[in-house]
């Protein structure tokens, strides 16, 4: 992947909405009172945006990502991925939309320990029914770009944390998703690996015009990577204050 300009955003002449929410809420029943994890979030992210969302632990960041990815149901409100309304879909249609249009990068990597790096990275393409030779060639080319040459046959336990997360990024982007949701993807990494993962997703955004929503507790990182920046606290979303 080529170098990218960190502060660049979408071209307003070609931008389209990748994800949109309207008055989105997630409330968990709990005693003595319900927990309002996400409260009335209205958000638009355009294709080509690299949105950084900062906030402390427990602020609702992961819950919001899970809502946008269709991994959990909203209590009320609406979500659109492109021009399709996620919140009206049944489970099967939602799963298909995730497979076709959304890539996930998780803090804990979430690689399957019994699979090799290549098998983990090709998993999305396998679920789509792509022939083995085609999907393995695509993963091999991506691994070469990402500095993972020679690691395809290693299982996750034989990879460093930074290598595992690069494999996780490969798995997220190999299917060319229009939206990438990254949940604290560098929280467990050293500075060098952190920079590598940041650059991989910045490059992916630049090369494909995909939208990326990067969640972090690190406000300095949000400043570094985000073309747009927000703060989520106590379930409420607001633009980052200007210095």
The Cα 18–Cα 73 span in angstroms is 19
How confident is the model over 186-200, as pLDDT tens digits?
998 999 999 999 999
Q: Is the peptide bond before 150 cis (omega within 30 degrees of 0)?
A: no
Listing DSSP states for 13-31 in one string gives TT--EEEEEEEEEEEE--S
The Cα 205–Cα 213 span in angstroms is 10
pLDDT for 14 equals 42
9 in a domain, yes or no? no
Over the chain (243 residues), what is each successive 10-residue block's mean pLDDT?
A: 46 70 95 92 96 92 95 96 94 94 93 97 95 96 93 96 95 96 93 93 95 94 94 89 56
Range of the domain at 59: 17-239
60 in a domain, yes or no? yes
How many domains are there within the chain?
1
Q: Which CATH number do you get for residue 162?
A: 3.40.50.300
pLDDT for 3 equals 43
pLDDT for 242 equals 56
132 in a domain, yes or no? yes
């Amino acid at each position: 992947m080529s170098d990218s300009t960190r502060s660049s955003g979408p071209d307003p002449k070609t931008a389209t909405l990748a994800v949109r929410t309207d008055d989105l809420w997630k409330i968990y029943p709990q005693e003595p009172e319900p927990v309002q994890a996400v409260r009335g979030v209205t958000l638009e992210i355009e294709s080509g945006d690299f949105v950084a969302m900062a906030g402390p632990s427990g602020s609702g960041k992961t819950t919001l990502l899970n809502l946008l990815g269709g991994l959990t149901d909203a209590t009320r409100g609406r979500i659109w991925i492109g021009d399709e309304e996620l919140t009206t879909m049944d489970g099967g249609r939602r799963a298909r939309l995730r497979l076709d249009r959304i890539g996930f990068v998780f803090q804990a990597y979430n690689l399957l320990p019994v699979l090799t790096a290549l098998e983990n990275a090709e998993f999305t393409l396998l679920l789509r029914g792509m022939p083995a030779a085609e999907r393995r060639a695509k993963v091999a080319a991506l691994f070469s770009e990402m500095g993972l040459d020679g690691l395809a046959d290693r299982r996750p336990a034989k990879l460093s944390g930074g290598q595992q997360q690069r494999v996780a990024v490969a798995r997220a982007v190999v299917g060319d998703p229009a939206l990438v949701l990254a949940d604290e993807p560098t929280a467990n990494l050293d500075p060098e690996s952190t920079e590598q993962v940041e650059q991989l997703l910045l490059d992916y955004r630049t090369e494909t015009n995909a939208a990326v929503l990067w969640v972090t507790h690190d406000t300095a990182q949000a400043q570094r990577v985000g073309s747009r920046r927000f703060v989520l606290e106590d379930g409420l979303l607001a633009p980052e204050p200007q210095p």
